[in-house]
Structure 1
Amino acid sequence: MQQSGPDKKPLFFYGFIIVLVGTLGVWASVPGQTLGVSTFTDPVKDALGLSRDKFSVAYALGTIGSSFLLGLAGKWFDRYGARKVAFFAALGLALALALSSQSQAISMSIQRFTGSSTWVIPFVVIMLCFFLIRFSGQGVLTMASRNMIMLWFDKFRGSVNAFSSIAVSLGFSISPLFIDHLIEGNGWQKAWQLMAWGLLVVAGLIYIFYRDTPEKMGLKPDGSLIKKNNRGKTDAERIQFSKKEALKTRAFWMYGLMMAFNGYFITGLTFHIVSVFENVGLTKTDAISIFVPMSIISVSTSFIFNTLSDFIKLKKLLFLMILGGVIASVGLAFLSAPIGYYLLVFGAGLSGGLFAVLVSVTWPRFYGRKNLGAISGVSMQMIVFASALGPWLFSASFTLFGSYSVIALLGIVGLVLMAVFSLKANNPQ
């Protein structure tokens, strides 16, 4: 909070609370993220009687369906604010998890009612569950929480995002192990139910502590911090792009596509992580444990470059992220060799750390705060849509070629093309 009056110094800037609760909101989206869903893949597909390919397609279709609505969710953010949007997103995710925990029972009930034992019934049921999980979790709750933090800061976006990204990365890194422990100790149905109860608690915290913008509390972005640093343009001096104007710039598409590639690659890898490692003779424990060193690199990268992003051009970070994607793809293609493991871990960690930087600071810096929800909503659509294709394309690569190397090599080709077209992806300001 801040005292009013020209001669009174602020006692406390509420933006620091925003960083804490906003980070909690992003972390709470874990059940809707691929790393939160992937741990359920084997037990749920077996319980529903679906093959890996069918289960992957159901996940892809549910995710693609959710991506089509994220542009609308961005408009909700601009119209209704972070507090309402994030609150209902958390409630929606809790409901989605509760329904998912009953997907087997729902499928069996429909099969008995229709007198049919076709696989189509559990396929449609889990697809609809994935639609709800992905839309409310990975999509809306993540977007609203992340954007809220960015609206409360301007000059120090990178610095506060460094803290938030580290906390989120650490939380995400331990989540697969935590969720696997829940499943092993309680079964996949109870595990989803326990997380649903946790989301209800988070929804309550969102309602109490989230605030839409500093202006609505009589404050300014950065609070008193801005007095310590007066470099560069402020948000008030930036051109406030509309969504239509932003989509006409090359920068939007190049940055957006690279973020989408990261979502595609990490989702495909995470969703099939056990299969990917077993295919080269490694165990499930080896597969799950990859997230720890990957996250260490990601956290370190995020901290360093979030802080530096307040001072340097984001274009340099874009090319570094592309390089990380190339290294990770090479590692996946040659995972059977010892060097492949280290390349995969380092490349994915580097790319993921830079994703945490660019996905937050790029849009308000390039296009202003006025239409942040609508513009970032389109980017989130691209990320979620690409993440939907990841599991399906990885599965298709394994089914057709008996290996994940083919899809990795195709990714390298795409990244090289992206690097070429990004040469002129300049800040539209």
Structure 2
Amino acid sequence: MTHPNKFSFINPKKFPFYYGYVVLLIGSIGVLASIPGQTVGVSVFTDPVKDALGLTRNQFSNAYMLGTLLSAFFVARAGVLFDKYGARYVAFFATVFLGLALLLFSVSAEMSAWLKSVLHLNTWGVPFVLITVLFFFTRFCGQGVLTMASRNMIMMWFDKNRGKVNSISSIGVSLGFSSSPIFINAIIDDHGWEISWQILALCLFIFSLFVLQFYRNKPEDFSLVPDGFVKQDETKKEIRVERNFTLVEAKKTRAFWMIGLTLAFNSFFITGFTFHVVSIFGSQDYSKSEAIAIFLPISIIAITVSTIGNILSDYVHHKIYLYVMLTSGVLASSGLLFLSQGFGIYLLIIGLGILTGLFAVVNAVTWPRYYGRKYLGSITGKVMSFLVIASAIAPSLFSYCFSTFGTYKYIGYITLCYLLFLIIGSLKVKNPQ
């Protein structure tokens, strides 16, 4: 990059300590800043917004699905832009546009009424189309681009310590995501949903200035090296040569598809389960409080697994994580099948806890380890499109399964068949390096 310090007063080369640790902090905050575009952030606004727009729950959910699916077709392109322009500019514009989308969301009821009067249409189709477009921007900028750019930037600044660093980031991000619904709900209770979105938008605009000041693409732009040092024993021998795979080359490997589709399963199952958790447990005569309480043990397991997994990722073969994720997927799917029996809930907790914890490891650390850093944006952008599509169709598929069969357990049969395919396909997975 010709001017890696443009628009900034911060020079990583003159920093009193390795700048990668600043990247770790600001990149982790960047992932947290994507929360308004994540399911966990959007779900808190569901009831007040759908009522204000005159949409049913199914209509609102379908708008969310269409907007998310639409964003999946563009997020892979954002990965190419990451490779070309770097995390700094990509994250900056993603943050600004996410903030603008939230501002439009805050006046969506007024916009809907205005469009109805101009078009002389008094139908639910007007707010449906409007909210679909807004969901596209929030999901594309938040869940897709800002998350990808921030996470990839951290991975670019570390190599041998990549797992340890990601464990620190994962703990902070996990705690932030798990507590964000409570925080956002408190703002809505105090100020209403319109002002709440405006407050979040203001925070994003402020953070975009921090992106320009502190985000940096890679250490080589400043004559630095990943991790900030070269081990002494490596100065006496040839340093490990890293092959950088293009997206086309990566797609020719078995590991790309098996790992990507396993991460997509994680996104599908957890999104669908979270979206309908109260209904899932209610169908088995559990109360709402009992349904929500399941997230506490899941979070504890996830943080523990993520921390251990990240630290060990610097030393073990990553295909082990793939096999463990598939096994935990079988546990979670079986838990959904046997939820009516006492042990089903424990299978769900253990399975979802391990899935969530290892997702943070594999999706961040494995890609640069397997395919290098040069084309990391295009590779992870393509994988992100898998995750976005999976998260888009999950809530509707869960819902239609329940409305058609009166139970969610058939989702378990579907996911077990899918996992069987992944297990067979993953037997010969190896590191392309």
Could you tell me the TM-score, scaled by structure 1's length? 0.93
Q: Does 1:318 align with 2:299?
A: no
Work out the CA distance in 2 between the residues paired with 1:414 and 1:386.
13
Residue of structure 1 aligned with 2:245, choices 241, 247, 270: 241
| C-alpha spacing 1:268/1:74, structure 2 compared with 1 (3 Å) | same
Q: Does 1:129 align with 2:129?
A: no
Work out the CA distance in 2 between the residues paired with 1:203 and 1:24.
11
Q: Does 1:280 align with 2:284?
A: yes
1:13 maps to 18
Q: Does 1:140 align with 2:145?
A: yes
Residue of structure 1 aligned with 2:366, choices 362, 366, 370: 362
Work out the CA distance in 2 between the residues paired with 1:281 and 1:198.
41
Q: Does 1:96 align with 2:101?
A: yes
Contact kept, 8 Å, 1:163 with 1:303, in 2: the verdict is: yes
Contact kept, 8 Å, 1:302 with 1:356, in 2: the verdict is: yes
| C-alpha spacing 1:286/1:38, structure 2 compared with 1 (3 Å) | farther
Task: Provide the secondary structure at the position in 2 that maps to 1:428.
Answer: coil
Work out the CA distance in 2 between the residues paired with 1:215 and 1:313.
27
Residue of structure 1 aligned with 2:227, choices 205, 222, 231: 222
Q: Displacement of 1:241 after TM fit?
A: 0.9
- Give matches, 1:310-389, under 5 Å: 310-389=314-393
Work out the CA distance in 2 between the residues paired with 1:235 and 1:254.
30
Q: Does 1:182 align with 2:170?
A: no
Worse-superposed segment, 252-261 or 409-418: 409-418
Q: Does 1:416 align with 2:420?
A: yes
1:7 maps to none
Deviations 1:19-60 (A, max 9, x none): 010000011111111111122222222322222222221111
2:163 maps to 158
Work out the CA distance in 2 between the residues paired with 1:263 and 1:283.
25
2:44 maps to 39
Work out the CA distance in 1 between the residues paired with 2:331 and 2:89.
40
Work out the CA distance in 1 between the residues paired with 2:276 and 2:179.
18
The percentage of aligned residue pairs carrying the same residue is 52
Work out the CA distance in 1 between the residues paired with 2:211 and 2:291.
34
Provide the aligned length of Structure 1 versus Structure 2. 422
| C-alpha spacing 1:272/1:112, structure 2 compared with 1 (3 Å) | farther
Work out the CA distance in 1 between the residues paired with 2:54 and 2:301.
38
1:110 maps to 115
Residue of structure 2 aligned with 1:61, choices 49, 53, 66: 66
Contact kept, 8 Å, 1:251 with 1:425, in 2: the verdict is: yes
Deviations 1:44-80 (A, max 9, x none): 2232222222222111110010010111100110111
1:87 maps to 92
Contact kept, 8 Å, 2:13 with 2:224, in 1: the verdict is: no
Q: Does 1:394 align with 2:398?
A: yes
Task: Provide the secondary structure at the position in 1 that maps to 2:231.
Answer: helix
Q: Displacement of 1:185 after TM fit?
A: 2.8
Task: Provide the secondary structure at the position in 2 that maps to 1:386.
Answer: helix
1:426 maps to 430
Contact kept, 8 Å, 1:254 with 1:418, in 2: the verdict is: yes
Work out the CA distance in 1 between the residues paired with 2:392 and 2:132.
12
Work out the CA distance in 1 between the residues paired with 2:232 and 2:328.
34
Work out the CA distance in 1 between the residues paired with 2:418 and 2:116.
43
Work out the CA distance in 1 between the residues paired with 2:36 and 2:291.
19
Worse-superposed segment, 160-169 or 109-118: 109-118
Code of the residue aligned with 2:55 in structure 1: it is L
Q: Displacement of 1:229 after TM fit?
A: 7.9
| C-alpha spacing 1:230/1:161, structure 2 compared with 1 (3 Å) | farther
Worse-superposed segment, 66-75 or 103-112: 103-112
1:199 maps to 204
Deviations 1:89-123 (A, max 9, x none): 11111111111122222112212222322111111
Work out the CA distance in 2 between the residues paired with 1:355 and 1:157.
15
Work out the CA distance in 1 between the residues paired with 2:333 and 2:194.
34
| C-alpha spacing 1:235/1:159, structure 2 compared with 1 (3 Å) | farther
| C-alpha spacing 1:236/1:119, structure 2 compared with 1 (3 Å) | farther
| C-alpha spacing 1:182/1:280, structure 2 compared with 1 (3 Å) | farther
- Which runs of 5 or more residues in structure 1 are unaligned? 5-9
Worse-superposed segment, 25-34 or 184-193: 184-193
Task: Provide the secondary structure at the position in 2 that maps to 1:40.
Answer: helix
Contact kept, 8 Å, 1:331 with 1:342, in 2: the verdict is: yes
2:124 maps to 119
Q: Does 1:208 align with 2:213?
A: yes
Worse-superposed segment, 268-277 or 11-20: 268-277
Could you tell me the TM-score, scaled by structure 2's length? 0.92
Code of the residue aligned with 1:125 in structure 2: it is L
- Which runs of 5 or more residues in structure 2 are unaligned? 1-10
Code of the residue aligned with 2:159 in structure 1: it is D
2:56 maps to 51
Work out the CA distance in 1 between the residues paired with 2:233 and 2:292.
43
1:308 maps to 312
Q: Does 1:75 align with 2:80?
A: yes
Worse-superposed segment, 405-414 or 42-51: 42-51
Contact kept, 8 Å, 1:67 with 1:382, in 2: the verdict is: yes
- Let me know the Cα RMSD of the aligned residues: 2.1
Q: Displacement of 1:227 after TM fit?
A: 2.2
Contact kept, 8 Å, 1:37 with 1:271, in 2: the verdict is: no
